Amino acid sequence: MSRKLLLFALVALVAAAVCTRLGFWQLDRLSARRARNVIVARRLEADPVSVAELPRDTAELRYRRATVRGRYDFAREIVLTSRARNGSPGVNLVTPMRVEGSDTLVLVNRGWVYSPDGASVRVEDWREPDTATVAGYVEPLGAGRGSGAIVGRPTALRWLERAEVERRVGAPVAPFVLVQTAGGAAPADTVPPRHTLPQLDEGTHLSYAVQWFSFAAIAIIGLGTWVVNERRETHAAHEG
């Protein structure tokens, strides 16, 4: 076996081993994704509960369906920037809601509004009746990821971080945002398009796994081809 073939064999075997490991890694991620989808599906299929009945553990909040009734505080509304919908730029309108008997505000993501720059919008055009019953699913608020503030835009945020939101609204807020999927009694042209329930899929993990296993196979096949060709050349040289 020539030194070139030995070197190629080393590279090919290392490449095959790495690609195989990456393939199994993608399969592990696929398995985790499927397990997560089962949990999410159960939560989305469950009957909505009052926000007062939601688990206190934020890890248990995501995608649970809930309802809340209260009074919107439009003066403290937050514009959540850079939110695309069907390929169009826009924003989400997040409005604090005051719930009777509680000093803690509940954030309601009322929906998406078109915005050419993904940041500017006339929020007054999207007012709804002050008192409302909202139904949707829950997303926990982030913490410790930075304020998400935008210079020169006091009502806009790139993302919702609990401490920053509380600073902006001047009151404690619940550790989640209720993403509205239904409800509201305002005329259609003043209601932001509501969000739909999350669509569950398995992502691209399986296709990536197949690609990595294919790369591993190509490396091994390439090595085998080189070995066969070298043996043929050696045998032909001896016969000559």
Digits of tens for pLDDT over the chain (240 positions)?
567 778 878 888 899 999 999 999 999 999 999 998 898 888 888 899 999 899 888 888 889 999 999 999 999 999 999 999 989 999 999 999 999 988 999 999 999 999 999 999 999 999 999 899 999 999 998 776 777 878 778 888 999 999 889 998 999 999 999 999 976 555 556 688 898 888 888 889 999 999 999 999 999 998 888 778 777 766 666 665
How far apart, in whole angstroms, are the C-alpha atoms of residue 145 and residue 160? 9
**Token output for 77:** 């509304």
pLDDT of residue 237: 64
pLDDT of residue 154: 80
Spatial contact of 69 and 132, defined as CB atoms under 8 Å apart: yes
Question: Whole-prediction pTM value?
Answer: 0.78
Residue 121's SS3 state is coil
pLDDT of residue 236: 66
**Token output for 26:** 């993608």
